[in-house]
Structure 1
Amino acid sequence: MSEFDPNPPRRNFYGRRHGKTLRQSQKGYLSEDLGTLRPRGITVQDNPERAPVEPRTIFGDDRPVWLEVGFGGGEHMVHMAARYPEVGVIGCEPFINGVAMLLGKIRAAGVENVSVHPGDARDLMDVFPENSVDKAFLNYPDPWPKARHHRRRFVTPEHLIPLARVMKPGAEFRVASDIPDYIRQTREEVPPAGFDLIHDSAEPWDDWLSTRYEQKALREGRVPHYVTFRRKG
């Protein structure tokens, strides 16, 4: 695996980067597959000048590009890539155990229209040009339940304004969570960043795949909620 630092010192990062010890197979996925699937020019080490990186060059053609912020174990990302082979799906996830899980799922599914950034989504949004992302997903993000930590959530201007900048006018931004207060903050903070709320429901999208985090929420009696926004413009 190529050496890089997915957590550049110029900004704060909150959350885990490593969990339990990886299995040998997962270490193999990281050493054998991540170097090919990782997009170039995203990290500060690869691109210290922060020169623009056109996401379509990652896939070598002019296909639509979708972005999944924090793909967790990768179920949804691989599902969408398999269902929509004409689209390029870029996922970002700082938690290396999740990255290893995703790489195993990519091998098993045989999908090729994917790219994996094992780091902060803000690295991507720093260098992607305006109006370059066709759809974005935020599924079961870290809830940061303590009130003093709510500013660490993704649905804050620090993340939403850069996301809006890179999304095309009319592009969808989907958010799924089982935490009522997270949904409340999502409803409040996403529209001022440049989005219209177009769907707000306890019913999932037609092409939704229930993730491991959602199944855990259901077992523990929490109710999932699904919110869709459209980029203004």
Structure 2
Amino acid sequence: MLIPITRETFEQMIPLVATSDQYKYYWGKPDDFLRRLLISVVGVVVVFILKTALPEWLSLLDFMAAVVIGLYWLWGPIYLATRRNQECRRYKYSGFWRGKVLDVYVTEELIGKEETVNKQGELVIVENRERRLNLEIGDETGFSTALQVPLQRAHRVIRPGDIAEMVVMSNREDMSRFSKLSDVFLSDYDLWVSDYPFLRRDTFVDVSRRLKKQQRRSRGR
């Protein structure tokens, strides 16, 4: 079941600036932090090298540039998440979609390859694989979609028939085709299924409850 939502409600659920969950996502692992830190250090060094070739009246600008670049390790995740939010907010139309889990299964996917040398000095290609959860979700209208995310322990409870809710986005006014899907909320378990936390989740849950109340009132009339 698809329920259209206002632009204001949509922008509350997908805010312009990164949420805390999105910041944590892009903060990443220690390797990601070290990569950003290296960029910050190299950037500051480049600024100070260029400073020697620039006139003195630009010294304040040089200092400001060094501060901004030097703090890239801190604000980088905010920038990446905010840019991703903006990509979602470019869609003209959105809706609240409620369906059911049609199927759930686990697969093992190839996520990368690495070259290494074994004890005999031979070049060996090692495949990096990851177990992933696959969800097929559909509704009474016949529309269905599939979602694949990294497998977590909490996913063990998911069963066919569970209620699944999400935000859908499209550039078509009639919403006949969805261009993008948000993370999935399984209200039976208060469980989120996603690779990336698109939504401001507390706001989404509030909207879900409000829509359910409105539907109950409509049926009671």
The one of the two structures with greater contact order (alpha-carbon pairs below 8 A, sep at least 6) is 2
> Higher strand share goes to which structure?
2
TM-score range (shorter-chain normalised) is under 0.3
Which structure's CA Rg is the greater one? Answer: 2
TM-score (norm 2): 0.23
**Higher relative helix content:** 2
